[in-house]
Amino acid sequence: MDVIEHEGVVSSVDGRSLKVEIVSQSACASCHARGQCLSSLDSAVRTMDVTAPEGESYAVGERVRLSVTGRSGALAVVMCYIVPLVLCIATLALLVSYGMTEGVAAAISLAAVAVYMLILFIFRRSIAQKVDIKITHYKE
């Protein structure tokens, strides 16, 4: 089973609930031509909410390692990228085939994706339980 790992720093601790900051490096960071490329995005800081395992303690500023199984990562990709894309294209094609103008069909398709994202936001806690993020102390 594939595992995706990232290193991060604990930014806040509230009991077993942790906030971990991860610096995501784009592939452009190692490219020799990144200074001339318009698409280069060097890095972005992301904050993730993680629940510490029972009996483990973490401190603010501590380096940690977050890991996600490939299956959980694939589920997140499908839910956040694939489903909205398919929903948008299918809604647009269906509405245009029923004779609706392209502009109105495009607006309704984007609204359908917005509603889907709102549903994901509402159910984010139950979805987060399906995507299992494990945290461990960083060992060099």
- Name residue, tokens 């483990």: 56
Q: Give the number of other Cβ atoms within 10 Å of residue 80's Cβ.
A: 12
Structure tokens at 109: 């398709």
Among 93, 95, 88, residue whose Cα is nearest residue 109: 88
Where in the chain are the domains? 3-27+42-137
pLDDT of residue 18: 84
Query: How many Cα atoms occupy the beta-carbon half-sphere of 89 within 13 Å?
Result: 6
Query: How far from the centroid of its chain's Cα atoms is residue 87's Cα?
Result: 19
State residue 102's pLDDT score. Answer: 94
Q: Tokens at residue 61, please?
A: 């500023």
Structure tokens at 103: 């502009």
Separation between Cα atoms, residue 54 and residue 36, nearest integer Å: 48
Spatial separation of the C-alpha atoms in residues 119 and 127, rounded to whole Å: 11
pLDDT in the model for residue 36: 52
Question: What pLDDT, on a 0 to 100 scale, did the predictor assign at position 56?
Answer: 81
What is the predicted pLDDT for the residue at 42?
Answer: 54
pLDDT of residue 132: 74
What per-residue confidence (pLDDT) applies to 60?
86
**pLDDT by 10s per residue, the chain, length 140:** 577 788 888 888 888 788 888 876 655 555 655 555 544 455 677 888 888 888 788 888 888 888 877 777 788 889 989 999 999 999 999 999 999 999 999 999 999 999 999 999 999 888 877 777 788 888 76
State residue 1's pLDDT score. Answer: 55
| pLDDT at position 40 | 46
Kindly report the number of other CB atoms within 10 A of residue 124's CB atom. Answer: 10
| Per-residue pLDDT at 53 | 81
